[in-house]
Amino acid sequence: MEHVNTKEMNLYLIRLGEISLKRLNRNFFEKKLKNNIKLKIHPYRSLLTREKGRFYLYVSKDCPEEIVIKTLKTTFGVVGFSKALVCEKDWPVIVENAKALIENEPFADDTGSFKVECRRGDKSFFMNSYQIEAELGGVVLDRYPDMKVKVKDPQKELRIEIRDKAYMYTSPVPGPGGLPVGTAGKGLLLLSGGIDSPVAGWRIAKRGLKQDCLYFHAYPYTSDMALQKVKDLARIIAPYNQGTNLIVVNFTECELWIKDHSKEDEHTLMMRACMMKVANMIAKARDCRVLVTGEALGQVASQTLESMCFTNSMSDIPVLRPLVAMDKEEIISTARQIGTFETSILPYDDCCVIFSPKHPLVRPEVDMEQKSFSDMNIDELLAKCVAEAQEFEISYHV
Amino acid sequence: MYYFDWTATSPMGQKALEVYSDVACRYIGNPSSTHPLGSEAKSRLETERAAIASMLGTTSSCIYFTSGGTEGNSIVLSSLLNSPAPGEIITTGIEHAAILEWKKTLESHGWTFTALRCPGGYLDPETLRAALNDKVRMVAFMKVNNVTGTVLDTASLVKVVRDYEKTSGRRIHIHCDAVQALGKIPFFPEKEDFDSASFSAHKFCGPRGVGILYNRNKAVLALSRGGGQEKGLRPGTENLAGICAMNAELAVTLSGLQDRYNEILAFRTKIEETALSAGYSLISPSCKSGLKFSPYIINICAKPIPSEVFLRVMADKGFCLSSGSACSSNSKGKAESVLTVMNIDPASRMSSIRISMGSGTTAEEVQELCLALSAAASELGIKQ
């Protein structure tokens, strides 16, 4: 840490949750997290060191604070973070720094209770801990008169350590938690324009799975606005996922083929079977070891247990369904939290009504549907879809 | 691109453009100013008022310049709120949003807002007669429907109201939204015995943001508050260049009205025949039905393809068409609600396509449209 010119850099303390419990492979997780954070802050200079189960993140002062905060709020593995200031042990300077620090989260919302906690390692400092706490408490109250002092279990804390220098930081702003993206390998997310699939991708990214995204476009039956909406959704979840690649498959010919070569009540099932086949081919070509979908048990006809058994039978690789046991309300609440909800509900349908049967098959039998699928003779078209797929790279930048 | 959305708006005509720039450069004064340049502008404004009055078969005192159809309708309907006690307004369910959207406001002030059903796009005079009662203060209906082109039998409808007045002894204000009529079919509000009628310049190649309100009822009051222009009914500095451009273009349009009508009727007949033989069905009345319709608008049904999809396919082929009216094609359900009131079945409503023509439509464009409609029908599997 000595070689860092801290004067030119802002300091943040990062708290790590589950990672600190790891033993032999802790290094692997920590290294990934460091890289994930540095990558997002790049091209600004940053440096990460580890001490007592925390990360110390130094970021060059020309990097806008907003970027650091957004980075830490969208990087899985970060449980919480706080901005820290280091200054000379000169009381007026300490007060100025304290004032600057409380302009940030979590103090900036001007509500709730707080306390100031001081540790005076350097006993030669002219004020004792109690005096420092009382004085700085006054500084906070001058700025935020509506806040209340509460010594036991406050909502916010301003902490100061008087050692070789004065170190100040606040109680942590919550990060997203989870495990660093990339530590669990790579998967392929079937992303529609709906509410569920972005949430599914986000939830499984939280367990460290990096994902590429796959969208089935059926122009002119679905509009280019629907495609734009999916790109926007991918852009919203991309920072959490350390960036992603959106693969767009032109599915129009397949949809029309399915419509003409299968029974009406099987259309949706056959369409999903085709999507699984295409996803499998694309996943294998990109080293994705699992598929991820936004299905929730019983939500619609194609998400019954029987339908899921059938679509599973169309995939050679595991299909993860992070939302399988979640209610719509719970899914919507996460969608709001991660900022995808408003985009998801834009009125550009991701499937045209002419491909949706009025009475879809709800409890299909696997063997029978597999036969229906092979009777369609659609393999050649599916291979063509894969060959002609377009790819869009979506940045991890916040 | 081939433009077939003239009902939504039309491009400004050559005459309108010339007059606009000429007047904008020459008459720089505010008609309300007392200096010579102001007086000059005022005098031109009154000349224009007399000109439009004569084109509409009425007198200058009944002509008010507005910003367009929506404002004209709003001035008339908002006036109801000045009545000492709430009553009832009867209108049709096939009106433009500029009328129907007043429902909420009027109802919140205690008014009864009755929107009558119009099977096939026509209001049966008997339906109106049955709806009239002592509470009714206003009846409002359009001349030409903007979604299907049906022409309402205004003479019979007005007669029903006037007959009722005689028995009840109470005057009822009759308003007509004639936005799709002026410049397309002969329309004279005074002769038809309307108390008020609204018009919009950009529907007949005039500039956007200019319109006319014909009104002879003193109880109609201003919607805005301001400097007393237009006898206080529509305050705000008059858009003199826009007004002159509108009048000049309207004069051109009216001079060739009948020839143009015949030409457009031939185009519409051709589109209808092509559409029917290609597998589309008609939502507008057929040319052969004997019903009254404006040939400038034809609404067809592209079942089973949703209008939205069909419009994309046609846009890719280079054609600008529309589903309901342009004012409501962004908001789900609006255009459909007008078609619902016309008793059009749900599947047809979902696939409704409006093709509309105007003074600039050419035979070659119609020929291209017919070819494209046939091609789209076979590509998309359209069937009646």
**R_g over Cα of chain B:** 21
Contacts A347 to B, Cβ<8 Å: 332
Residue of chain A minimizing CA distance to B381: A256
Taking only the tens place, the pLDDT of each residue in B117-150 is: 999 999 999 999 999 999 999 999 999 999 999 9
Minimum-distance CB partner of A352 among B306, B316, B332 = B306
The Cα–Cα gap between B219 and A125 comes to 85
pLDDT category of residue A306 using cuts at 50, 70 and 90: very high
* Token output for B102: 């007043």
Q: Are the Cβ atoms of B312 and A223 closer than 8 angstroms?
A: yes
Domain that holds residue B275: 2-10+256-380
Averaged confidence pLDDT in chain B? 94
Give me B90's structure tokens: 């009867």
Q: If interface means Cβ-Cβ distance under 8 Å, which residues of chain A face chain B? A: 219-221, 223, 347, 352-354
Mean pLDDT of B249-257: 97
As a whole number, mean pLDDT of residues A18-27 equals 85
Q: Give the whole-number percent of chain B exceeding pLDDT 70.
A: 97
Residues B53/B47, Cβ–Cβ less than 8 Å: no
CA-nearest residue of chain B to A259?
Answer: B381
Cβ contacts below 8 Å, chain A against chain B, sum to: 17
Instruction: Tell me, yes or no, whether B285 and B244 share the same domain.
Output: no
- Tell me how crowded residue B285 is: count the other CB atoms within 10 A of its CB: 21
The distance of A345 to chain B (nearest Cα, Å) reads 13
Shortest Cα distance, chain A CAs vs residue B330, angstroms? 10
Chain B residues within 8 A of A219 when measuring between CB atoms: 312
Nearest CA in chain B to A224: B312
- Shared-domain flag, residues B247 and B345: no
- Per mean pLDDT, which range of A60-69, B63-72, B254-263, B338-347 is the poorest? B338-347
Could you tell me whether strands B319-320 and B88-92 are parallel, antiparallel, or unpaired per DSSP bridges?
Answer: unpaired
Chain A partners within 8 Å of B314 (Cβ)? none
B312, A219: Cβ pair inside 8 Å? yes
Phi-psi region of B364 (alpha: psi -120 to 50; beta: other; left: phi over 0): alpha
Distance of alpha carbon B157 from alpha carbon A386, whole angstroms = 63
pLDDT above 90 for A54: no
Number of structural domains found in chain B: 2
Measured distance CA(B293)–CA(B152) in Å, rounded: 8
CA-wise closest residue to A198 among A316, A350, A70, A310: A350
Contact yes or no for B332 and A220 at CB 8 A: no
Are B34 and B95 in the same domain? Answer: yes
Indicate whether B189 and B328 sit together in one domain. no
CA distance A307 to chain B (A): 27
By C-alpha distance, the chain A residue nearest B317 is A220
Average the pLDDT over B214-229 and give the result: 94
Q: How many CB atoms lie within 10 A of CB B43?
A: 12
Q: Could you tell me which of B106, B178, B112 has the C-alpha nearest to residue B141?
A: B178
What is the predicted pLDDT for the residue at B325? 45
Record: contact B350-A353, CB cut-off 8 A: yes
Let me know whether B210 and B271 are in one domain.
Answer: no
- Among the candidates B254, B269, B285, a domain finishes at B254
Confidence of residue B326 (pLDDT cuts 50, 70, 90): very low
Do residues B249 and B234 share a domain? yes
Q: What is the CATH number of the domain that holds B337?
A: 3.90.1150.10
What pLDDT, in 10s, does the model give residues A151-187?
999 999 999 999 888 999 998 899 999 999 999 999 9
pLDDT band at A3 (very low <50, low <70, confident <90, very high): low
pLDDT, mean of residues A193-200: 96
**Does residue B332 register a pLDDT over 60?**
no
The values of phi and psi at residue B317, to 5°, are: -85, -5
CA pair distance A176, A13, nearest whole angstrom: 15
Q: Where residue A6 falls among pLDDT bands split at 50, 70, 90?
A: low
Of B219, B254, B289, which closes a domain?
B254
Closest alpha carbon to A216 in A263, A264, A262, A277: A277
Q: How far apart are CA B142 and CA B177, in angstroms?
A: 4
Position A353 scores a pLDDT of 75
Residues in chain A with CB shorter than 8 Å from the CB of B379 are none
Higher-pLDDT residue of A103 and B124 is B124
Distance from CA of B347 to the nearest CA of A (A): 11
Lowest mean pLDDT among B76-80, B301-305, B327-331: B327-331
In order, the DSSP letters of B328-382 are TTTSTTHHHHHHHHTT--HHHHHTEEEEE--TT--HHHHHHHHHHHHHHHHHHT-
Which of B312, B317, B378 has the most A C-beta neighbours within 10 Å, making it the best mutation to test the interface with A? B312
CA distance A249 to chain B (A): 19
Do B332 and A347 lie within an 8 Å CB cutoff? yes
Neighbours of A263 (CB within 10 A): 11
Extract long-range pairs of B58-64: CB within 8 Å, 24+ residues apart: B58/B188, B58/B189, B58/B190, B58/B214, B58/B216, B61/B216, B62/B190, B62/B214, B62/B215, B62/B216, B63/B212, B63/B213, B63/B214, B64/B212, B64/B213, B64/B214, B64/B215, B64/B230, B64/B231, B64/B233, B64/B234
- Joined together, the tokens standing for residue A323 give 């939302």
Exposed e or buried b per residue across A94-119, where buried means at least 16 C-beta atoms within 10 angstroms of its C-beta: beebbeebbeebbbeeeeeebbbbbe
Closest-CA residue of A relative to B315 is: A220
Do B170 and B50 belong together in one domain? Answer: yes
Give A-chain residues touching B323 at CB under 8 angstroms: none
User: How close is the nearest chain B Cα to the Cα of A250, in Å?
Assistant: 16
Average pLDDT, chain A: 92
- Chain A CB contacts of B351 under 8 Å are none
A220 contacts in chain B (CB < 8 Å): 309, 312-313, 316
Chain B positions in Cβ-Cβ contact with residue A352 (cut-off 8 Å): 306, 309
Active site residue: B176, B205, B301, B327, which one? B327
The full set of domains in chain A, from first to last, is 6-174 (3.30.2130.30), 186-394 (3.40.50.620)
pLDDT in tens, A229-286: 999 999 999 999 999 999 999 999 999 999 999 999 999 999 999 999 999 999 999 9
Q: Which residues of A touch B305 (CB under 8 A)?
A: 354
CATH of the domain at B100: 3.40.640.10
Residue-level pLDDT at A35: 96
Q: Is B304 within 8 Å of A347 when comparing Cβ atoms?
A: no
Token pair 């820290």 is at which residue?
A84
Give the model's confidence band at B336: pLDDT under 50 very low, under 70 low, under 90 confident, else very high: very low
Q: Are residues B158 and B282 in the same domain?
A: no
- The reply to whether B118 belongs to the active site is no
* Residues B6, B45 share a domain: no
Closest CA to A74 of A242, A223, A196: A242
Q: Which residue in A has a C-alpha nearest to residue B332's C-alpha?
A: A347
Of the residues A255, A354, A356, the best mutation for testing chain B's interface (the one with the most B CB atoms within 10 Å of its CB) is A354
Interface probe, candidates A217, A221, A224, A355, chain B, greatest B C-beta count within 10 A: A221
Write out the residues of chain B at the interface with chain A, using a CB-CB cutoff of 8 A. 304-306, 308-309, 312-313, 316, 332, 350
Q: Is the predicted pLDDT of residue A1 greater than 50, yes or no?
A: no
Q: The whole model's pTM is what?
A: 0.84
| Interface contact flag, A220 B350, Cβ < 8 Å | no
pLDDT at A113 over 80: yes
CB contact under 8 A, A354 and B305: yes
Closest approach of chain B CAs to the CA of A346, in angstroms? 12
**Angle value at C-alpha B244, between B241 and B248, nearest 5 degrees:** 140
Cα separation values, B278 from A67, A183, B271, B318, B369, Å:
58, 59, 10, 19, 12
User: What pLDDT is attached to residue A358?
Assistant: 86
Residue B327 pLDDT greater than 60, yes or no: no
> From B314, which residue of chain A is nearest by alpha-carbon distance?
A220
Q: Is residue B21 classed as helix, strand or coil in its secondary structure?
A: helix
Q: Which residue from B304, B312, B350 is facing A220, i.e. has the nearest CB? A: B312
pLDDT in tens, B96-119: 999 999 999 999 999 999 999 999
Residues A37/A72, Cβ–Cβ less than 8 Å: yes
Which of B196, B224, B254 represents a domain boundary (last residue)? B254
- Tell me, yes or no, whether B46 and B66 share the same domain: yes
- Distance (Å, rounded) from C-alpha B10 to C-alpha A299? 47
Above 50 in pLDDT, residue A125? yes
Q: Looking at chain A, which residue has its C-alpha nearest residue B305?
A: A354
Indicate the residue type of A277.
K
Whether residues B239 and B292 share a domain: the answer is no
- Residues of chain A in contact with residue B308, where contact means CB-CB under 8 angstroms, are 223
How far lies B78's CA from each of B72, B195, B224, in Å?
A: 10, 15, 10
Query: Both B75 and B188 in a single domain?
Result: yes
Shortest alpha-carbon distance between residue B305 and chain A (Å): 7
Q: Give pLDDT, residue A4.
A: 55
d(CA B28, CA A283): 69
Interatomic CA distance for residues B302 and B351, integer angstroms: 5
**Quick one: what percent of chain B has pLDDT higher than 90?**
92
Instruction: Judge contact between B30 and B225, C-beta under 8 A.
Output: no
Output the pLDDT for position B294: 98
Rounded CA separation B159/B132 (Å):
12
